C-alpha cells in the first residue's frame, strides 16, 4: 500500500514539475535541475508499474501452461493417441497444443520477463512443437500398420527439460522486488523534493529578477513618459507602484513558507498576469504536497490499526514500535525503544529455536511462525509473526537491500491469543474425552470379567441342581434362574466382544443363510471403500458348492469383512479374490473352504509365526503405515475356533497373501426356485483382460451348459465374431468387461452395434463397481443386460436365460429387474411378523411406508423426527427400525448413534436400523453404515426392496400367498413415470386418493416455504425443503420434478443459494406438467 501511494505521489509531482518547467522554459533553469534525470526516474517507475500490473497475469498464464501439461492435457492426450489411436485424443491434443502456444506468445509479451525466463519459455515451446511434429509421424505409422510398441520405440520425446523449465518459472521470483522498488521510489521522491526545493528557490529568484527588471523598465518608461507626456508618466508611476507591491508581497509570502515550512497557507493571487500565474502554480504545488502528507498519515494510521509493528537493528535492539505494539505488550514507546527484544521473551521456546530464526533472517530470508510473548504485567500473549530482513538508514527509514547489506529487521505481527486459547481448550477437551473413553472401556472390561466369574459359578451350580430331585415349582424356578443367567452371560460376552478383548464367550447362532449371497454382500460392501484403488474384486463361488447352509451368518460375515478389509488395506493394485469351494460332503454336513487372496505387499516368513497373536501385526512398520489395533486377526482366529474350524495363511513377500478358512456347516433346505430356460449348447464369447476372471467365469458358464470362448484382447473381439458368422456358427451371447484398459467394454459394444450384421447380437456388460446411471448408459449403448461382477450364480443364469428373448429398445435386464420379475412370477408376497419403528418426517412418505409394511403383516409405530424416534425406542422393544436420514431437530444419523449408545448402556443386543434415503451414491451408503445403520433402502419405496431388506434382517418369518402384481404397461409421459404412479395406486388401494391429496398438500407447502424464503432463511432449512420435495416427487413418479429438486439440493449442499428463485419457477412449471399428465391418465 505504501509503495502504491509513493507511485501515485511521484506521478503527480512529475506532472506538476513538468508544467512548472514549461512556465520558465526560456530560462536556464531546465538545465540546472537536470530534467532528464527526473524523466529517467519517472520512466523507471512506469516500468515498475507495468511489471506490477502484469504480475498477476504472468502467474495466471504460467498456471494455464501447467494445466496443459497436467492430466487431460497435451501429454496425456498424446500418450492416449499413441496407445489407442483414437482421433478424439488427437483432436484434444491439437486444441490444447494450439492454446498452449497462444498462451506462451502472450507470456513473452508481458513486461518484466527476464532473458532467463524467455529461454525457459523457449524450451517449453520447443517441446510442444516437437509433440506436434511427432503426432503427424504417429498418424503415418499407424496408417502403415506399424505396431504401437515399435512406434513408441521410434518416437522418443524428452520432455524433462520442459517440465524443469516450467517448474523453475512457477517457483522463480518475479522481477518485482518490493524492497528494491521501495528504495527506488524513495530515492525518486527525494530527487523530486530536491528538485521541488530548487524550483522553489528558482521561482523566488526569478521573482526577484523579474521585479528588478520590471523596476528598471518602469524607470526608463517613466522617464520617457515624463518627457513625452506627463499623463502617461503619472499612469506609469501608478502601475509601477502596484507591481512593486505585488512582487514584494509574493516574495515575503514565499520566504515565510520556506523558512517556517508552512505549506497550508496559499499565496494571494490578484489579476491574471504572469505573476498571478506563477503564484497559482506555486499554490498548486503546495496543495499537492499537503495532500500527499495527509495520505501518508492516513496510510500509517490504517496499518497501525490492524498490525503490531516493530523494527530492530542487527542486535535485536528495538528502534521503532507502533501504538498497537504498546497496547498488547503493556509497555510505552519510551520503555521499549532502545531495549533488546528479549524483554518480551516468555522462555516458551528453547535457545535452538531462536538460533534457527536468526539463521534464517541473516541469510536474507523471511521468517514466519507463531510466538508466545510476555507482557509487562507478566501475562502471556500469542502473535503470528513475520520477520523481514531489510536495510536501515536513519535518514529515510527502511530501504531495500540484499542479504549482504542487512542492517535491521521489521516484524509484523497479528494477535492470535484468543485463537490459541480455543485450540488449547479443544486439545484439553480431546484429552479428557480420550481419558474418559479409556476409563469407560477399562471399567466395562473389568466389570464384565468380574461379573462373568460369579455368573459362571451360579449357572454351573444351577445346572448341577437341575440333576437333583425337584418338584415342579422348583424346576420352574430353576429354569428361570438358568434362562436369566444365560441371557445375562450372553450380554456380558457381547460387551467383551465389542471391546475386542475377549471373543471366546461369543455364542454362535445356527440359522439358515445363503453363503454365496453373504460373500457377495461382504465383497460389495468392502469394495465401496476401495473405489479409489485399481483393484479387481472377484467372487469365485464354485458351482458345485452348496449355497444354502445352517450356521452363524453374523460371525461368518465378521470373519469375511475382517479378512477382505485387511486385503484392501495392504493391496494397492491387482485383485482381491473370495473363493468358496466344497472340500468334502458327508451326510448333511459340508466342509467349506473360503479363501481370501490378494496381490498386496505380502508377508515375510518370519512374520507369519505370530500373525494371529493379540496386538500383533506383520511388523511395527505396517502398524505405522497402515494402522490397526493388531486385534483383528486374533479375534478372527478365535471366532473360527468357535466354529470348530481352522484358519491359515500362505504368503509370498512382495507378491500377495492368501488367507484360508476351513469349517463345517450343515446343509439347509433349498428354497423353491423359478425354473429358467436351459442354456445348454448356447455359444458365448467372454471378453476380459483379467486372467483370473476368465478362468472363474468360464468354469461357471460351462457349468450352466454354455459353450464358452474367452478372449483377453479387445481388438480381437470383432474379428472373432466375423469369423464365427462366416462359418455359420455365430455367437449367441457376447459378455464384455467394462473396465478394460485401452478400450472399454462400452466402446467395444458401441462398435459392434454400428455393424449391421450384428444387429441382433445379444450383448451383456460386466462392471466391477457399479455407479449411478450405469444401467441407463449401457441401455442407450444397445446392451441387452448389465450386471456387477460380484454376482450370484443364480442371478447370472437368470439374466442369460432372459437375454435370449430380449430385444433392443426393451428395458435393459439387470439384477433389479430379475428380482422384480421373480417376485411377480412367484405369485406370492411374504408375510412378516414383528414390531417396526418408522421414523419419517414427510407425511406422504410416512403413509406409503406404513401401508407397505402393514400389508406385509407388520405392526408399525410412527415417529415424526429423530428425537421422537429416540424417545419412542427407549420406551419399548422393536424388532427393526426404519430411519429417514434427513429430519428436523435430530437427523437419522444422530438418532442412530444415540440408539446405539442407549443399547450399550442398557446392554441390549443391537436392533437392525435401516436407512431411508433418496440419495443412492456410494458416499451416502458409507455415511449410513458409519453412523451405525445396518442397511439402506432408497426412495421411492418399492415393495420388492422392502421385502428383500426385511428378509435379510427379520429371518424365519412365515410366508403367505398374496395377489399377483401385474406390471403396468401404459405409455410413459415425460414428466410422469406411469409405472411408479400405477404401482403406487395398486399398493395404496383404498388409501390412494388420500395419499395423493396429502402429496399435493405437501408439495404446495414446500413451494410456499421456498417462495417465502430470503437471505435470512437458514440454508439448512432450504436444503431440507429441497430434499423433502425430491423424496415426495419420486414416490409420486414425478421424476423430472425430483431431478430438479435434487439439483437444487446439491447446490445448497455446496452453500450456493443464489438460484433458489430460479428453481422455484422451474418447480411450479414442471408441477403443472405433472398435474396435466395425471389428469390425462
pLDDT on residue 624? 43
Average pLDDT over residues 513-537: 81
For residue 408, is pLDDT > 80?
yes
pLDDT on residue 957? 47
Average pLDDT over residues 1062-1072: 83
For residue 956, is pLDDT > 50?
no
User: Nearest-5° angle of CA 310, CA 311, CA 317?
Assistant: 110
Question: How is residue 1008 written as a grid cell?
Answer: 410456499
CATH class as words, domain 423-498: mainly alpha
In angstroms, what CA-CA distances link 1012 with 336, 454, 710, 1041, 1064? Answer: 59, 66, 62, 20, 10
Among 107-116, 798-807, 867-876, 1068-1077, name the one with the lowest average pLDDT. Answer: 107-116
Q: Do residues 843 and 1002 lie in contact, with contact meaning Cβ atoms separated by under 8 Å?
A: yes
Backbone angles phi, psi at 399, to 5 degrees: -125, 155
Average pLDDT over residues 201-214: 73
Distance CA 962, CA 827 (A): 7
Q: Which CATH superfamily groups domain 683-825?
A: Response regulator (3.40.50.2300)
Three-state secondary structure call for residue 1026: helix
Between the two ends of the chain, the Cα-to-Cα distance in Å is: 70
Average pLDDT over residues 904-933: 81
Task: Output the average pLDDT for the chain.
Answer: 77
For residue 678, is pLDDT > 90?
no
Report residue 814's pLDDT band, with 50, 70 and 90 as the boundaries: confident
**CB burial of residue 121 (10 Å; 0-12, 13-18, 19+):** buried
Helix/strand number for the chain, H first, E second: 37, 25
Quick one: the chain helix, strand, coil %, rounded to 5? 60, 15, 25
Q: Name the more confident of 322 and 33.
A: 322
Comparing CA positions, the residue from 361, 342, 362, 339 lying closest to residue 351 is: 342
pLDDT on residue 657? 94
Domain locations in the chain as residue ranges: 2-26+184-294, 48-177, 307-415, 423-498, 511-667, 683-825, 829-964, 966-1081
Q: Give me the CATH code for the 829-964 domain, please.
A: 3.40.50.2300
For residue 447, is pLDDT > 80?
no
pLDDT in tens, 470-488: 776 677 677 767 766 765 6
For residue 520, is pLDDT > 80?
yes
pLDDT in tens, 987-1014: 666 677 777 777 777 777 777 777 777 7
Among 50-64, 621-635, 1050-1064, 1065-1079, name the one with the lowest average pLDDT. Answer: 621-635
Q: Do residues 1044 and 1063 lie in contact, with contact meaning Cβ atoms separated by under 8 Å?
A: yes
Average pLDDT over residues 81-97: 84
pLDDT on residue 349? 85
pLDDT on residue 959? 41
CATH of 966-1081, picked from 3.10.310.10, 1.20.120.160, 1.10.287.130, 1.10.10.350, is 1.20.120.160
pLDDT in tens, 152-203: 777 778 878 888 888 888 776 555 555 665 666 677 667 667 766 676 676 6
pLDDT on residue 501? 40
Question: What single string gives the DSSP state of each residue in 134-178?
Answer: HHHHHHHHHHTT--HHHHHHH-----HHHHHHHHHHHHSPPS--H
Neighbours of 47 (CB within 10 A): 14
Distance CA 599, CA 577 (A): 9
Identity of the highest mean pLDDT range in 240-254, 320-334, 935-949, 1034-1048? 320-334
Three-state secondary structure call for residue 266: coil
Identity of the highest mean pLDDT range in 24-28, 112-116, 339-343, 657-661? 657-661
Identity of the highest mean pLDDT range in 260-264, 463-467, 1035-1039? 1035-1039
Ranges of beta strands (E only) in 643-703 are 646-652, 656-667, 683-687
Identity of the highest mean pLDDT range in 111-115, 230-234, 433-437, 678-682? 678-682
Q: Give me the CATH code for the 307-415 domain, please.
A: 3.30.450.20
Q: Do residues 38 and 94 lie in contact, with contact meaning Cβ atoms separated by under 8 Å?
A: no
Among 77-86, 327-336, 651-660, 892-901, name the one with the lowest average pLDDT. Answer: 77-86
Q: Do residues 90 and 81 lie in contact, with contact meaning Cβ atoms separated by under 8 Å?
A: yes
The CA R_g of the chain, rounded to the nearest whole Å, is 43
pLDDT on residue 69? 76
Q: Do residues 4 and 179 lie in contact, with contact meaning Cβ atoms separated by under 8 Å?
A: no
In angstroms, what CA-CA distances link 793 with 542, 624, 800? Answer: 9, 40, 11
Q: Measure the CA dihedral 508/512/516/521, to 10°.
A: -70
Question: What single string gives the DSSP state of each residue in 914-937?
Answer: EEEES--SHHHHHHHHHTT--EEE
Residue 1019 neighbours by CB under 8 Å, 6+ apart: 1052, 1055, 1057
pLDDT on residue 593? 95
Domains 683-825 and 966-1081 share a fold: no
Q: Name the more confident of 790 and 375.
A: 375
Q: Do residues 456 and 510 lie in contact, with contact meaning Cβ atoms separated by under 8 Å?
A: no
Report residue 950's pLDDT band, with 50, 70 and 90 as the boundaries: confident
What is the topology classification, in CATH, of domain 511-667?
Heat Shock Protein 90 (3.30.565)
805 alpha carbon, distance to own chain's centre: 45
Q: By percentage, how much of the chain surpasses pLDDT 90?
A: 14
Q: Do residues 950 and 830 lie in contact, with contact meaning Cβ atoms separated by under 8 Å?
A: yes
pLDDT on residue 1008? 78
Report residue 838's pLDDT band, with 50, 70 and 90 as the boundaries: very high
Report residue 294's pLDDT band, with 50, 70 and 90 as the boundaries: confident
Q: Do residues 750 and 736 lie in contact, with contact meaning Cβ atoms separated by under 8 Å?
A: no
Q: Measure the CA dihedral 909/528/791/682, to 10°.
A: 170
Amino acid at each position: 500500500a505504501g509503495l502504491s501511494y509513493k507511485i501515485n505521489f511521484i506521478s503527480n509531482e512529475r506532472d506538476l514539475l513538468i508544467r512548472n518547467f514549461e512556465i520558465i522554459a526560456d530560462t536556464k533553469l531546465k538545465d540546472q535541475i537536470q530534467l532528464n534525470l527526473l524523466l529517467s526516474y519517472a520512466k523507471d517507475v512506469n516500468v515498475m508499474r507495468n511489471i506490477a500490473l502484469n504480475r498477476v497475469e504472468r502467474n495466471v498464464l504460467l498456471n494455464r501452461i501447467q494445466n496443459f501439461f497436467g492430466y487431460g492435457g497435451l501429454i496425456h492426450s498424446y500418450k492416449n493417441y499413441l496407445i489407442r489411436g483414437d482421433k478424439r485424443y488427437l483432436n484434444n491434443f491439437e486444441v490444447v497444443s494450439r492454446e498452449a502456444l497462444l498462451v506462451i506468445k502472450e507470456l513473452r509479451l508481458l513486461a518484466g520477463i527476464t532473458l532467463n525466463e524467455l529461454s525457459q519459455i523457449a524450451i517449453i515451446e520447443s517441446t510442444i512443437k516437437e509433440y506436434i511434429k511427432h503426432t503427424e509421424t504417429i498418424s503415418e505409422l499407424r496408417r502403415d500398420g506399424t505396431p504401437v510398441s515399435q512406434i513408441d520405440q521410434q518416437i522418443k520425446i524428452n520432455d524433462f527439460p520442459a517440465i524443469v523449465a516450467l517448474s523453475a518459472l512457477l517457483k522463480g521470483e518475479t522481477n518485482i522486488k518490493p524492497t528494491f522498488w521501495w528504495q527506488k521510489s524513495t530515492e525518486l521522491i527525494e530527487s523530486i523534493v530536491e528538485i521541488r526545493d530548487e524550483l522553489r528557490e528558482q521561482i523566488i529568484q526569478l521573482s526577484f529578477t523579474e521585479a528588478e527588471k520590471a523596476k528598471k523598465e518602469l524607470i526608463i518608461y517613466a522617464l520617457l513618459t515624463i518627457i513625452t507626456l506627463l499623463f502617461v508618466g503619472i499612469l506609469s508611476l501608478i502601475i509601477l507602484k502596484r507591481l512593486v507591491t505585488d512582487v514584494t508581497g509574493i516574495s515575503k509570502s514565499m520566504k515565510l513558507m520556506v523558512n517556517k515550512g508552512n505549506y497550508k497557507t496559499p499565496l494571494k493571487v490578484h489579476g491574471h498576469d504572469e505573476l498571478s500565474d506563477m503564484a497559482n502554480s506555486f499554490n498548486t504545488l503546495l496543495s499537492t504536497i499537503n495532500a500527499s502528507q495527509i495520505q501518508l498519515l492516513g496510510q500509517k494510521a490504517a496499518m497501525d490499526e490492524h498490525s503490531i509493528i516493530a523494527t530492530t537493528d542487527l542486535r535485536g535492539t528495538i528502534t521503532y514500535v507502533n501504538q498497537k505494539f504498546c497496547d498488547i505488550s503493556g509497555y510505552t514507546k519510551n520503555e521499549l525503544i532502545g531495549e533488546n527484544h528479549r524483554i518480551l521473551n516468555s522462555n516458551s521456546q528453547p535457545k535452538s529455536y531462536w538460533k534457527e530464526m536468526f539463521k534464517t533472517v541473516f541469510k536474507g530470508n523471511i521468517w514466519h511462525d507463531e510466538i508466545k510473548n510476555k507482557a509487562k504485567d507478566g501475562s502471556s500473549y500469542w502473535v503470528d509473526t513475520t520477520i523481514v530482513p531489510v536495510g536501515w538508514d536513519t535518514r529515510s527509514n527502511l530501504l531495500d537491500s540484499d542479504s549482504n547489506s542487512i542492517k535491521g529487521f521489521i516484524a509484523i505481527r497479528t494477535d492470535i491469543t484468543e485463537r490459541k486459547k480455543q485450540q488449547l481448550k479443544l486439545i484439553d477437551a480431546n484429552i479428557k474425552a480420550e481419558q474418559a473413553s479409556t476409563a469407560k472401556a477399562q471399567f466395562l472390561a473389568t466389570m464384565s470379567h468380574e461379573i462373568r466369574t460369579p455368573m459362571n459359578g451360579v449357572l454351573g451350580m444351577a445346572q448341577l441342581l437341575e440333576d437333583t430331585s425337584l418338584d415342579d415349582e422348583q424346576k420352574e424356578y430353576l429354569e428361570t434362574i438358568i434362562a436369566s443367567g444365560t441371557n445375562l452371560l450372553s450380554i456380558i460376552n457381547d460387551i467383551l466382544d465389542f471391546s475386542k478383548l475377549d471373543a471366546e464367550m461369543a455364542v454362535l447362532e445356527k440359522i439358515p443363510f445363503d453363503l454365496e449371497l453373504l460373500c457377495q454382500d461382504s465383497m460389495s460392501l468392502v469394495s465401496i471403500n476401495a473405489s479409489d484403488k485399481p483393484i479387481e474384486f472377484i467372487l469365485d463361488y464354485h458351482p458345485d458348492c452348496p449355497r444354502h447352509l445352517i450356521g452363524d451368518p453374523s460371525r461368518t460375515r465378521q470373519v469375511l469383512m475382517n479378512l477382505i478389509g485387511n486385503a484392501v488395506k495392504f493391496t494397492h493394485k491387482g485383485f482381491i479374490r473370495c473363493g468358496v469351494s466344497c472340500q468334502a460332503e458327508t451326510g448333511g454336513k459340508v466342509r467349506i473352504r473360503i479363501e481370501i487372496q490378494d496381490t498386496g505387499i505380502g508377508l515375510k516368513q518370519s512374520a507369519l509365526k505370530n500373525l494371529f497373536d493379540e496386538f500383533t501385526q506383520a511388523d511395527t512398520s505396517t502398524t505405522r503405515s497402515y494402522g490397526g489395533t493388531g486385534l483383528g486377526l486374533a479375534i478372527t482366529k478365535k471366532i473360527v475356533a468357535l466354529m470348530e474350524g481352522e484358519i491359515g495363511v500362505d504368503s509370498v513377500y512382495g507378491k500377495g497373501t492368501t488367507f484360508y478358512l476351513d469349517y463345517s456347516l450343515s446343509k439347509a433346505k433349498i428354497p423353491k426356485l423359478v425354473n429358467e430356460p436351459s442354456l445348454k449348447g448356447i455359444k458365448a464369447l467372454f471378453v476380459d483382460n483379467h486372467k483370473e476372471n476368465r478362468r472363474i467365469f468360464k468354469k461357471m458358464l460351462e457349468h450352466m451348459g454354455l459353450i464358452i470362448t474367452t478372449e483377453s484382447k479387445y481388438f480381437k473381439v470383432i474379428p472373432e465374431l466375423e469369423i464365427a458368422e462366416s462359418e455359420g456358427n455365430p455367437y449367441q451371447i457376447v459378455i464384455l468387461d467394462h473396465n478394460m484398459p485401452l478400450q472399454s467394454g462400452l466402446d467395444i459394444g458401441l462398435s459392434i452395434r454400428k455393424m449391421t450384421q450384428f444387429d441382433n447380437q445379444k450383448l451383456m456388460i460386466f462392471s466391477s463397481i457399479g455407479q449411478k446411471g450405469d444401467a441407463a448408459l449401457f441401455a442407450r449403448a444397445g446392451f441387452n443386460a448389465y450386471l456387477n461382477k460380484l454376482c450370484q450364480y443364480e442371478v447370472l443364469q437368470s439374466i442369460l436365460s432372459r437375454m435370449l428373448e430380449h430385444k433392443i429398445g426393451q428395458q435393459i435386464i439387470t439384477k433389479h429387474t430379475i428380482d422384480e420379475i421373480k417376485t411377480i412370477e412367484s405369485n406370492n408376497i411374504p408375510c412378516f411378523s414383528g414390531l417396526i419403528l418408522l421414523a419419517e418426517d414427510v407425511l406422504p412418505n410416512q403413509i406409503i411406508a406404513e401401508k407397505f409394511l402393514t400389508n406385509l403383516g407388520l405392526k408399525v409405530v410412527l415417529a415424526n423426527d429423530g428425537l421422537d424416534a429416540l424417545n419412542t425406542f427407549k420406551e419399548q422393544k422393536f424388532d427393526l427400525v426404519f430411519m429417514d436420514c434427513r429430519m428436523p431437530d435430530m437427523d437419522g444419523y444422530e438418532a442412530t448413534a444415540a440408539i446405539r449408545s442407549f443399547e450399550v448402556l442398557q446392554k441390549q443386543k443391537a436392533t437392525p436400523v435401516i436407512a431411508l434415503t433418496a440419495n443412492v451414491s456410494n458416499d451416502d451408503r458409507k455415511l449410513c453404515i458409519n453412523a451405525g445403520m445396518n442397511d439402506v433402502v432408497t426412495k421411492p419405496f418399492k415393495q420388492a426392496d422392502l421385502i428383500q431388506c426385511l428378509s435379510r434382517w427379520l429371518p424365519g418369518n412365515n410366508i403367505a400367498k398374496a395377489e399377483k402384481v401385474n406390471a403396468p404397461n401404459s405409455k410413459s409421459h415425460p414428466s410422469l413415470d406411469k409405472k411408479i404412479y400405477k404401482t403406487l395406486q395398486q399398493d395404496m388401494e383404498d388409501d390412494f386418493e388420500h395419499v395423493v391429496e396429502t402429496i399435493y398438500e405437501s408439495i404446495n407447502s414446500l413451494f410456499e416455504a421456498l417462495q417465502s424464503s430470503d437471505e435470512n432463511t437458514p440454508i439448512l432449512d432450504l436444503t431440507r425443503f429441497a430434499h423433502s420435495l425430491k423424496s415426495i416427487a419420486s414416490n409420486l413418479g414425478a421424476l423430472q420434478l425430483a431431478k430438479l429438486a435434487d439439483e437444487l439440493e446439491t447446490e445448497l449442499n455446496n452453500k450456493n443459494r443464489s438460484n433458489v428463485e430460479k428453481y422455484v419457477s422451474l418447480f411450479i412449471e414442471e408441477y403443472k406438467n405433472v398435474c396435466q399428465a395425471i389428469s390425462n391418465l
